[in-house]
Chains A and B, each alone.
Chain A
């Protein structure tokens, strides 16, 4: 059983319930869990189990119906939309299954965007983007448009974009789900290298191999609850 106030938790959910419609079953029910700084946690479960809802709540993209969500020492379930957006820009990086790159922006402009929205100086943002493009091995594509790139390349752009503001937490929603096996493994290795650098990572995946190979810990969600744990509690 976890201590909800365990020191070092960079993500903490306490008694979180999320209901989309009043008369339907909750997508998440009284869920509590924590993630420590520098940890890689894989979240697994069948379709519709509530994995993406959990990720949305941690990212502040949605609000819980009940319970509290604390990320990087800040309770985010009570923040207004502007404060949430500001928080997201500074502390959260998100990688999506289908990349969600903006097709009308170049690779470089996609990577720069979160920094620009967060108000970083041009020089700082550009230096960080240069560094990340190089780290991701896509610096030669900086002026290319995402639509003309392979899935693996696009996901690297998405990772660079997610990291541009040095987020405390990196959230990845099925990061290899739209990639072939080899490319998926390549992305997996990239994520592991990031974690080795100290990056906290929450990985939502269907792929047991990905979870097993790259995550230090795996939590399973079934019908909105953590599987194999007493109601509402898991570490």
Chain B
């Protein structure tokens, strides 16, 4: 029976380890240039052209397919740019393209949920579903038309180069065209050479030149999408790699422990086999095959389990990386099981070889008891402590097998580190999300939801003033700040920088401060990390900013958390003159008085503004899809590592109960009750767990700080210190108990088996 349990445990450990390794390798592969891989797999478009079909006939457009350097072309697809609403709130401007199928020679849109459009009235949205946005079955309302059009979301898809915000049936596009706007179509190209901006420019020039003048009205290069996507994906890499490495290291450790332990536990049987004439070589082969079969079964099942588990995990990571789909690479499904099997053989080989060299009597003796002399002092000490005897016996037991105890301690420490790290990273990401979106302080934003009355559909000053008046009318408005944005020139910063100017008091907005402070007087500005890096300036330095209408000298008083590779400066409209114009209004940030219903406030403000206003109030969402996906991925990875750690403990305790089965029988014969025996066996792992918790807590803190900083580094930003100060002593102490929980959970089953065993059976067993 115990041999069967041992075989099952070996198979289980290898199953979980191989699954973890497969998933870990898959995640590592997924984090390696995800955009480039997706771009190749989805035949991404090197160039997305917007054309006026009235200027060129279908034949002329199609003839560009044969131009020199064009490898493939798709389209023309009719398109319309529309304003939209979802759930009664502005959903932004959408470019909707009519495509009858997601596939084609260029830009395979990968469906991530639902199905492709089958007729009018349906829409497939770009991006992953969920994350607080619309779901399959939601309704998107296209506004700005004589009659609003409702489109049912039937699916979500990913275009690796963002060729559209959504796709509708080709026959639907005409009905979505706002009155008075010219028809528009989309052409997608792949070129033989498009690796650099210069090559893409040359490709664009060739296509443009082949069409009548004025046909091409817009273009998008794949390099822009690559730049944006690589940035997003890179943020994920540090923690994905951290989890993958923890998982792999623990899998290796546990497998080595389990297998070598299983062979050592079989020494008695080895002795018996030798006494009936097996040669040392035959013994080695017998024992390798003894662990080999369950290991093989575990590896095969593990690689299947790893592939199955990878489906939801890679679906999430694909969403976070902004690519259509990711899959387990074939080599991961080969390397993981082969590696684990090789590790098994390697771990089994040394003890099996030793067993082969031992004489029959030595092997029998070695199989019956741990080395004499170990742990005696600890037993002596435990006997002197005023502890219940089963507790003392349990706490002293690990010292009899220091090697096994160390491996168990390491497995618990890895598992607990993963769990504490996951909690910490989640808390850090929550803070980053709240800080990036200002969702904690800014529950409502007023955003543009339709064409304004000014030139180029920009809202007029009167329309803007109406918003300010409406907000002032509501007593529930605690704060309102108009946010303006435009580009400015800063000597020392190549190209241009972004400038955000705030009207009135902006201190309530709550931007995350990495260093210094938020500005509180004219002439002071805050900047993001990219600005400091690009300019070489530091907090306390002065900078000259040319806003286009004025040149001002400002003092940098703080570095704010604003993840972007683009240098950005933040100041008041007084400090940055010329920015506060209707053209530069980005939105209004609104703070509410305590107890105000956000939904009710939004509804009331929108009622006051009326449907003719280009502005509409909207509830301010959290940090977005990246954070949602990252947090759920962290949870899943931590759970897997914790399960593997628990299994490692289970196996160790099982091996120890097997080693000490005779002693357990003696304890029972002397009157040890099942409850006392359960306590004693559980206490075998309590000591290592307490040490593991003490190691895991600072390790997880350090790992969290390093990971958050690495993630921030890839997002071109520093982080405020409070992002990583997520472990107050009380929480850390509580989280450290994860080690104890993991250890006890793993030990409980074999402890129960041992407690239930009949003493006569245990005494007979040797």
Binding site for B on A (CB under 8 A): 56, 59, 61-63, 81-82, 85-86, 88-90, 92, 94, 96, 100, 102-106, 109, 112-114, 116-118, 122, 145, 147, 161, 165
Partner of A104, one of B375, B674, B675, B756: B375
Contact present for B383 and A105 (CB under 8 Å):
yes
Does B760 belong to the interface (CB within 8 Å)?
A: yes
CB neighbours of B369 from chain A (8 A) = 103
Contact present for A161 and B670 (CB under 8 Å):
yes
Chain A residue at minimum C-beta to C-beta distance from B375: A104
9 A-B pairs with C-beta separation under 8 A: A59-B669, A61-B759, A62-B760, A88-B670, A88-B671, A100-B666, A102-B666, A103-B369, A105-B383
CB neighbours of B375 from chain A (8 A) = 104
- A104 and B400 in contact (CB under 8 A), knowing A61-B763, A117-B676? yes
Contact present for A82 and B400 (CB under 8 Å):
no
Does B620 belong to the interface (CB within 8 Å)?
A: no
CB neighbours of B389 from chain A (8 A) = 113, 116-117
Contact present for A109 and B383 (CB under 8 Å):
yes
Among B389, B390, B669, B759: residue with most chain A CB under 10 A: B669
Chain A residue at minimum C-beta to C-beta distance from B392: A116
Partner of B668, one of A61, A112, A118: A61
Q: Measured between alpha carbons, how far is A118 from B761 in the docked complex, in Å?
A: 22
The A-B contact count (CB < 8 A) is 83
CB neighbours of B430 from chain A (8 A) = none
Partner of A82, one of B372, B396, B666, B673: B673
Contact present for B760 and A89 (CB under 8 Å):
no
Partner of B760, one of A61, A90, A103: A61
Does B379 belong to the interface (CB within 8 Å)?
A: yes
Contact present for A82 and B760 (CB under 8 Å):
no
Instruction: State the main secondary structure of chain A at its contact with B.
Output: helix
Contact present for B666 and A61 (CB under 8 Å):
no
Q: Measured between alpha carbons, how far is A114 from B369 in the docked complex, in Å?
A: 22
Nearest chain A CB to B71's CB is how many angstroms away?
A: 75
Q: Measured between alpha carbons, how far is A161 from B760 in the docked complex, in Å?
A: 19
Does B607 belong to the interface (CB within 8 Å)?
A: no
Contact present for A94 and B379 (CB under 8 Å):
no
Chain A residue at minimum C-beta to C-beta distance from B673: A85
Q: Measured between alpha carbons, how far is A62 from B763 in the docked complex, in Å?
A: 11
Among B380, B666, B669, B670: residue with most chain A CB under 10 A: B670
CB neighbours of B675 from chain A (8 A) = 82
Q: Measured between alpha carbons, how far is A122 from B384 in the docked complex, in Å?
A: 10
Q: Which 3 A-B pairs have the closest CB atoms?
A: A89-B671, A62-B760, A116-B389
Contact present for B671 and A118 (CB under 8 Å):
yes
Chain B residues 623-681 with CB under 8 Å of chain A are 662-663, 666-676
Chain A residue at minimum C-beta to C-beta distance from B668: A85
Nearest chain B CB to A44's CB is how many angstroms away?
A: 20
Does B293 belong to the interface (CB within 8 Å)?
A: no
Q: Measured between alpha carbons, how far is A14 from B673 in the docked complex, in Å?
A: 26
- A86 and B673 in contact (CB under 8 A), knowing A61-B763, A103-B372? yes
Chain B residue at minimum C-beta to C-beta distance from A103: B372
Chain B residue at minimum C-beta to C-beta distance from A171: B669
CB neighbours of A105 from chain B (8 A) = 379, 383
Nearest chain A CB to B369's CB is how many angstroms away?
A: 7
